[in-house]
Each structure stands twice: as C-alpha cells, then as structure tokens.
Amino acid sequence: MTRPLNLEEVGRRAGVSRSTVSRVVNGGPNVSSETKRRVEAVIAETGYRPHAAARSLASNSTGVIGLVIPSAVATLFDDPYFGRLILGISSATNEVDMTLALFLFGAGPDESSIISRVVAPGLVDGVIVTATTRGDPLIDHMQGTSMPFVVVGRPDNAGSTFCVDVDNRAGARTAALHLAGLGRRRPALIAAPSNTTAGVDRRSGFLEGLAEAGLSIEDRIAEGDWSQESGRDAMARLLAERPDAVFVASDRMAVGALRAIREAGLHCPGDISVVSFDGIVPPDLTAPRLTSVVQPVTEVGERAVRLLTAVIAGASTPEHVVFPTELAVRESCGATPTAGA
C-alpha cells in the first residue's frame, strides 16, 4: 500500500516525471514556475528527502568530508585545541552544506583498517588530516591514493601537499624577543613534543629569537607532552636552573608551569616571566593571566574546509596557507603591572 517515497513517487503525485522533480530539488534550470510550485507543494506535504546514497552514487560526490585524527588518545581531547578545531571545521562544513565524518585512531586496535575505510570510494569526498607526528606514514599513504586531502599543520614533506598551518616559528620568535625586551636574561623553554612539527617549529623559532637578542638558553630546556601535568613537571625541573623567564609551547602546559612556580614559592611574573603559545585558555582562568602567542584555531579549521573543497573541485598546485599569530600581552610576562602587586 505505502509506496516508497522517492523521486518517481513525488513525480507521480505532482503529475510530472522523475527528471523534473530532480531539477526542482537541485534548483536546476528549465522548470516552469508553475510546475515548480506544484512539485514543491508535494515535497512539502510528503516530507520527501532525497536519498543521500543514491545521490552519491549517481553524482559521484557524497557531500561528506572526513576529519582524521590519528593517535587520538584521551589526553588529546583534554586539550581545548581540538574542540576548537572541530568547531571551526564543523561550522564551515555546515556553511557549505556538507557533513563531517570523524575518524579517530589509536583508540581502536587496527588503525590500518580505519584508514582504508577513510579512503574507500563513495564515503567521503575528501579528508582533513591533523595531529600527525613526524614521519607519520599516514600522509604518505594518503598521497598514494586519489583521495583529495589537506593537512592541518606542517607535514615533513609539505612541498607536495595542501596544508593550513599557523606560523609557529614566527610566533615563538616573537615570544623570545618579547621576553628579551623585558630585560630577562635567563630564559627557559618548555617545548612541545619534538615528534611534531609544531613542537619543532616553536622550539626553533624561540631559539632563533633568543639568538637575535643575544641570549642563550644553555640547559634550560625541557620537553612536555602537551599535558598540563607535563608542563608542571617540566617547570619544576627547570626551576633548578633558576630561569627568570620561560616560554611554554602550549597554554595547557603553561597552566601546569604556573602551578609549579606557585608551588615552589616563587612568583610570576616577579621571579619568572611566562609566555605561552595558543591563546586558547580563557585569560581569567589563570592567575596571573597568561601572556600568550594567539593562534587562530577556528579560522584554521574553516580555512582547511575551504581549501579542501578547492582540492575536491580539482585544484592541483599545492597551496600552503600560513596564518599569522598575535602576541596577546597580559600579566604573566610582567610587561603590564600586576593587578594585585
């Protein structure tokens, strides 16, 4: 009795053919406004929705883009960075009427089966890859397929891929110059993992800035793993070297570092000036408020989607989008009088 509600059926009810209904649904040309009205009325009253899979099959385009995050361990999601990135990506996909599929590895046992699902034809039109580590085979793998993809971050072999990144190096360099300009002479660094390009870039940018300012870092370097705990531990260790300033490669780690400073009975920015990277933790959540190199995470996500749609549309000359960062000066660096001091 109840007929399947498809183009044919809508056409039947509106007294037109399937093709005409298709044109109406897709806003195609060559439909008399009278016919259009009638068809739309039927669609409205029946609640007809085109079948996504059928459409994908016929049009060879799914309207879905994938976001691939390898090594998505729990700690990864504790960092607000990814939430922000997903928000940016999601809002951009909504904007262009696409759907976002999320592929998180590391949780499951067999990631190679997941990746092969990602690149299977007919599931997604393209993918955004992020949070890769250096030498990650994933990117090489992607290049071996015909699946359009863009990388958020800077892959090792960036030359041949489309990618969206922030200028980690310049941002970190700015932090160094800022600290030096404040008269600090014993800078320390809490670096991000050196198996990530962001970690490497922030480290080298900071050292570069230091060199320009005529400062050297000696042994005052520790490496964290992005977690707040690791920042705290790193700072605690570094304190033995009596630094008067520290650049922490991420907000989360900086929160931990602030805590270590406090726990050691020292004062920030009095004893130690702190500058972090990210600009993601709400300023009022820390005391003192963090001076931070702000990266535009949400924009990066939005831009990645736009770039990906271009790649899907056929763009072929690798494009590297690099967003600038901006130093937000607050109290933790000591440039501004501390409220309570």
Q: Tell me which residues touch its own copies (CB under 8 A).
A: 49-57, 62, 64, 72, 74, 77-78, 80, 82-84, 86-87, 90-91, 94-95, 97, 99-104, 107-108, 113-114, 116-117, 119-123, 228-229, 259, 282, 284-285, 287
CB 195 within 8 A of CB 166: no
Distance (Å) of CA 146 to CA 96, 119, 138, 161, 317: 23, 8, 14, 13, 15
Site for DNA in 19-58 (CB under 7 A): 19-20, 22-23, 25-26, 29-32, 34-36, 50-51, 54-55, 57-58
* Beta carbon nearer to DNA, 113 or 157: 113
Pairing of strands 273-278, 320-323: unpaired
Question: Are the beta carbons of 231 and 254 closer than 8 angstroms?
Answer: yes
Q: Does 16 sit near DNA (CB under 7 A)?
A: yes
Phi-psi region of 47 (alpha: psi -120 to 50; beta: other; left: phi over 0): left
Looking at residue 133, the DSSP 8-state letter turns out to be P
Q: How far is the CB of 83 from its own copies (least distance, A)?
A: 3
Measure the CA–CA gap between 6 and 48, rounded to whole angstroms: 7
> Whose structure tokens read 């439909």?
31
- Tokens for 280, please give them: 């993601």
Judged by beta carbon, residue 27 or residue 144, the one nearer DNA is 27
The residue assigned the tokens 């990388």 is: 151
**CA 16 to CA 340: how far, in whole Å?**
76
* Residue 11's binding partner out of its own copies, DNA, none, with CB under 5 to 8 Å set by partner kind: DNA
> Which listed option, its own copies, DNA, none, makes contact with residue 29 (CB within 5 to 8 Å by class)?
DNA
**Cβ nearer to its own copies, comparing 52 with 211:** 52
Shortest distance (Å) from residue 99 CB to its own copies? 5
Which of DNA, its own copies, none interacts with 315 (beta carbon under 5 to 8 A by kind)? none
Closest CB to DNA among residues 23, 203: 23
Which of DNA, its own copies, none does 240 bind, CB closer than 5 to 8 A by kind?
none
Chain-centroid distance, C-alpha 51:
31
Q: Which of the choices DNA, its own copies, none does residue 8 contact, using the CB cut-off of 5 to 8 A by kind? A: DNA
Rounded CA gap, 103 and 138, in Å?
A: 13
Report the C-alpha gap between 251 and 84 in whole angstroms: 14
Is 17 a binding residue for DNA by CB under 7 A? The answer is yes
Nearer to its own copies, 70 or 187 (CB): 70
Q: Residues in the site for DNA, rule: CB under 7 A?
A: 4, 6-8, 11, 15-20, 22-23, 25-26, 29-32, 34-36, 50-51, 54-55, 57-60, 122
